[in-house]
Structure 1
Amino acid sequence: MAYNLQDIARVSGVGAPRLQEWIRQGLLQLSPDEEGSTRFEEQDLLRLQLILLNMELHIPASQLKLTLDEQEQDIVAALLAHKQSLMDKVRRLQMMTETIDRTLSDLEKGAGPNPETWLAGLGGQGAPESGYLSNDSLHIEEGPSQEGREEDSRWSKDDYLSTQKEADEIYLDLCRAMDSGLKPEHPEVQSIIDRHYRWVGHFYTPSKKIYIDLGELYVEQDDFKKLYDVYHPRLAHYLRDAMKVYAEARL
């Protein structure tokens, strides 16, 4: 099935003039049909998705066409790489959120400064407390949890990939539950959310408030929303609502 320019502009949020400019530049390589209208086929939609994903990574305009041509040689591998990049960013945001919440908690209690928790995860990749991929992309340093871990955990690359596979399965199961018409409070959905809570626990142990706030962040923060939109356009809201039910009942 083919889609016209106006259809794609509407669903993608990219204005028709900008799409037409990308066609003129050769980033999108579409040809008019017999009636002279521009039509998007499956391959064109995939290339447009790659354009938008690469722009999210701030690929320079001068390199964009070459990058797209290379990625089109293996679309699946390119999309998986983009997904991994987004999930890395999500995990970084989760750690930063936890750092803010712990700092706010200390300030409310009148506790003294604690650089190990107040600065954890804010130094970028490779920072000792970051909880993100180190520069060699082979190990992960995990900072202390909310209760405070005295020893850092060194993760292998396989450990990291395993946690990402676990998250992927959780999100896919939530999509299936949502498409089946199950409400966020349904026991089956709450069982999936229990897996999500334990997955977050790989990085830190969220309190009731932090877990609820994290769900809100999934909806309000664009980077999170973009990740969940890859699975389902309603997943972020569904996940948030189910997390709130879980937190109210069990945390």
Structure 2
Amino acid sequence: MQYSISQVATMAGVSARTLRHYDEIGLLAPAAVSANGYRWYGRSELRRLQRILLLRDLDVPLPQIDAILAGDDDEAAALRRHLVLVTAERDRLDRIAATITRTLEDLEGQDRLPDEEFFRGLDEGRSQLAATLQERFGDAAASSVQTAAGGTEHWTRSDYDQAAADGRELFARLSRTRRSGLDPTSPQALDVVVEHHDAVRALWPVDPAAYHALADLIETDPQQRAVAGTEDPDLPAWLAAAIRAYAIHRLGYRHL
């Protein structure tokens, strides 16, 4: 059975204009176009649209979605990967919500929060990062993050607050650089990205190849994309491009 563009738009909760745009950029072509120019969609197009919308819900940019779908020959395997991403994002938000709730109860005097409980969300986030790095880059990367975490063992709340403030300020500087209109591959942009590279190396002695690959993680991993895009949703894609350029032009990385 085939559906008109208006029927598909209604089913998917998107506009016909969005579907036409997806067709124009080669992301979702209709199954057929009639002589009068009407677009018609079949079941395979509906499945592809579902995957596009799942990735859009994760804030993956359209060019990245195109690249992801182009590499997917097995639809079931692709959907399982999408499910992992969605589940990881749900779990991350659940952890954040639980930490905020516990902190609010502490601030409002309902329940005094023990210091170790105060940092539980941070510890869980660090463990998730270590697991992600292990999957992408191997045991050495995960071990580096856990070793670096040992250095924060005796930190106070003030120490964590300062580290969080430093991180927010770094991403704010990167965002200001992006908003200024600088190309992410320009020398001026890379002069700012050096701070990001230094911050990463403080946790993980990353080599040029791994730093280049980290760009993919920032674009596709929900946790890392959320960290980079908290105040500026357009920053992750810009930063990923800048990281790749930095690895090539400043660290000597060469694609094989």
TM interval, shorter chain, is 0.3 to 0.5
Higher helix share: 2
**Length-normalised TM-score, structure 2:** 0.46
TM-score where L is the length of structure 1:
0.47
